[in-house]
Amino acid sequence: MHPHGATGPLVAALDIGGTKIAGALIDTEGRPVVRSLRPTPPGGDGETVMRAVAEAVAELRAAPQWSAVVAVGIGSAGPVDALHGTVSPVNVPGWRDFPLVPRVGEAAGGLPVVLTGDGVAMTAAEHWQGAARGYDNALCMVVSTGVGGGLVLGGALLPGPTGNAGHIGHISVDLDGDLCPCGSRGCVERIASGPNIARRALESGWLPPAGTEPTAAAVAESARGGDPLAVASFDRAAQALAAGIAATATLVEINVAVIGGGVAGAGPVLFDPLRDHLSRYATLSFAAGVEVVPAKLGTDAGLVGAAAAAAQGLGLSGFVAG
């Protein structure tokens, strides 16, 4: 084992979201060796946001380890378009069809750049280093402000042509359900995201514990204390997630569903009803018995996964599950 990746190739990773732009040099064991961090300029125009990305890259380039960097991986809030190298993140309004790949390529001195959506990146990380390790067929999900995901099939990450495959948050599980910001109805995200868990609890008459904001974490706290309205809101979210997981298992045969993101932090309040509902939706022999487990990687999943997805996309050895 080389201390701090002193030898061996490195991949420069960028994790770009609505609040922060994180960068790191990732070694072949998935460890961040050098880091950089910038806030995403709120409401910034395209060039202002790009300037923050370029600064994050420049800080990485200034590290002596940069000489070992062979590629750049970007995991970005979606939608992304890996075919054209552009991004249009919902929560970065300054970027619409923004040519992020060529711009990062310039900032990184001409290294190859691979772009994926953040759900796909998280999936690559969990498959390489986390809870999906050792599974050849997995669905990984992030349940947070939104709901995203990605797929590993036949032992390989499946990013899809544009880098968005596995986006389970916008599968409809309620045909005549509420309108979703994406334009569809009854999406998993519209029912199971943190803000929707809190909204539904409030609408049913739930009150947050004294001194707390009405967030999904507060609903989880109430549910742990047995509040029936809080329990019901988590149960409904769990049902939506279970229906989405069952649909995925039936469509492509997965062995495990890994769930990360802030809402997964609710623990048994989410996972117990989820497994219960799943047993009623995933009924055919080949779909029944899908394991549901919490994600293992925390906030570094985006960075580690961006590196892994880039390595797979470019055929680099050493950065993917063996």
Give me the least distance between CB of 104 and Zn ion, in Å please.
28
Q: Should residue 177 be labelled a site residue for Zn ion when binding is judged by CB under 5 A? A: no
Under 8 Å CB-to-CB from 139, ≥6 apart: which residues?
Answer: 149, 150, 151, 166, 168, 245, 248, 249, 254, 256, 257, 258
CB 176 within 8 A of CB 222: no
Q: Per CB under 5 A, does 207 bind Zn ion?
A: no
SS (H, E, C) 213-261: CCCHHHHHHHHHCCCHHHHHHHHHHHHHHHHHHHHHHHHHCCCEEEEEC
Output the smallest distance, CB 201 to Zn ion, in A.
21
Q: Pick one of 88, 91, 162, 184: the residue that binds Zn ion (CB under 5 A).
A: 184
* C-alpha dihedral, 121 to 123 to 125 to 126, nearest 10°: 160
Residues 111-150 binding Zn ion (CB under 5 A) are: none
Residues 6+ apart with CB under 8 A from 244: 168, 171, 173, 188
Task: Check binding of 188 to Zn ion (CB under 5 A).
Answer: no
Residue 187 near Zn ion by CB under 5 A: yes
Q: Does 185 sit near Zn ion (CB under 5 A)?
A: no
In whole angstroms, how close is the CB of 187 to Zn ion at the nearest point? 3
As given in the structure block, the two tokens for residue 79 are 């939608």
314 binds Zn ion (CB under 5 A): no
Instruction: Considering the complex, state which of residue 120 and residue 220 has its C-beta at the smaller distance from Zn ion.
Output: 120
- Burial code of 223-234, b = ≥16 C-beta within 10 A, e = fewer? beeebebbbbbb
Stretch of 77-85, 98-106, 167-175, 279-287 lying at the interface with Zn ion (CB under 5 A): 167-175
Beta bridge partners of 114: 73
Considering only 138, 140, 180, 219, the residue that binds Zn ion (CB under 5 A) is 180
Which of 61, 127, 167, 170 binds Zn ion (CB under 5 A)? It is 170
Which residue, 103 or 200, is less far from Zn ion as judged by CB?
200
- For Zn ion, the closer CB: 144 or 312: 144
Gyration radius (Cα) of the chain, Å: 20
Token pair belonging to 65: 């380890």
Residue among 63, 182, 252, 288 that touches Zn ion (CB under 5 A): 182
Nearer to Zn ion, 13 or 141 (CB): 141
When asked if residue 171 is in the footprint of Zn ion (CB under 5 A), the reply is no
Q: Can you give the binding site for Zn ion, defined by CB under 5 A?
A: 170, 180, 182, 184, 187
